[in-house]
């Protein structure tokens, strides 16, 4: 039998663990909501910024715990971890194949798809000049480039536009693929 002091200590410790678990669950829900609303691959650094008072190792542990929760509860969603600590919440592939007609291109406007396809076609030397000659020099194309940069699908260096690792991961295309444009259009149309 526990002494009153030991009993009080046990209750106090249990309460601390309960409160810690509640706080962790709250963080996991925010991570889940962030990944859901982002609809793109997020770096761990982007996720860490949401929790400035929480240790990065703790946030990373909770992201992975959340991914395990999705596996354990057998939902139609999954959290994928890519290289360099990047994460995405997505519909599992077998299910996605059956509902794809409802989701194609839902993240991109048609003009962004065209711009992205031209950039992919012009790789590895997609200069702004070449892009503008194919798509025309307009505010729409400029806005498309800015949005695709924001989504981290492309980056620009010295007037040349490159596809990012996020691009290949998001569209599940191998970097060495010769049919990037064909695969991209099939996935989006």
70-93 per-position pLDDT tens digit: 999 888 899 989 888 989 998 887
Three-state SS for 4-63 is HHHHHHHHHHHHHHHHHHHHHHHHHHHHHHHHHHHCCCEEHHHHHCCCCCCCHHHHHHHH
Residue 107 near residue 41, CB atoms below 8 Å: no
Mean pLDDT of the 88-106 span: 70
Note the pTM of the prediction, 2 decimals: 0.59
Residue with tokens 């991570």: 31
Collapsed DSSP state (helix, strand, coil) of residue 178: coil
Q: How confident is the model at residue 13 (pLDDT cuts 50, 70, 90)?
A: confident
> Does 166 have pLDDT greater than 80?
yes
Average pLDDT of span 142-154: 89
CA atoms of 77 and 10, how far apart (whole Å): 39
Between CA 77 and CA 95 the distance in angstroms is 9
The residue that leads in pLDDT, 39 or 127, is 127
- The CATH class of 104-188 is mainly alpha
Report which of residues 27 and 175 the model is more confident about: 27
Selected residue with higher pLDDT from 155 and 138:
155
Binned at pLDDT 50, 70 and 90, residue 155 comes out as: very high
The size of the chain, in residues, is 189
pLDDT band at 186 (very low <50, low <70, confident <90, very high): low
Asked if omega into 124 is within 30° of 0 (cis), the reply is yes
CB atoms under 10 Å from CB of 119, counted, come to 26
CATH of 4-99, one of 1.10.220.70, 1.10.10.10, 1.10.3720.10, 3.40.50.300: 1.10.10.10
For the chain, the structural domain boundaries read 4-99, 104-188
Mean pLDDT score, 142-149: 90
Tell me, what DSSP letter sits at residue 129? H
Is the pLDDT reported for residue 188 higher than 60?
Answer: no
Domains 4-99 and 104-188 alike in fold: yes
The token pair at 142 is 């400029």
């Amino acid at each position: 039998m526990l002494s009153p002091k030991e009993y009080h200590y046990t209750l106090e410790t249990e309460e601390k663990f309960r409160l810690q678990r509640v706080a962790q669950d709250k963080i996991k829900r925010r991570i889940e909501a962030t990944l859901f609303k982002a609809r793109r691959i997020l770096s761990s650094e982007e996720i860490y910024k949401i929790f400035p008072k929480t240790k990065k190792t703790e946030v990373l542990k909770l992201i992975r715990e959340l991914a395990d929760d999705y596996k354990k509860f057998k939902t139609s969603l999954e959290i994928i971890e890519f290289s360099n600590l990047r994460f995405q919440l997505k519909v599992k592939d077998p299910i996605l194949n059956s509902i794809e007609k409802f989701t194609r291109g839902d993240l991109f406007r048609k003009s962004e798809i065209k711009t992205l396809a031209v950039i992919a076609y012009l790789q590895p030397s997609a200069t702004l000049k070449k892009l503008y000659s194919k798509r025309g020099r307009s505010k729409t194309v400029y806005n498309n480039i800015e949005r695709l940069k924001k989504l981290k699908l492309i980056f620009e260096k010295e007037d040349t536009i490159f596809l990012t690792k996020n691009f290949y991961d998001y569209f599940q295309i191998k970097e060495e693929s010769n049919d990037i444009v064909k695969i991209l259009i099939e996935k989006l149309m």
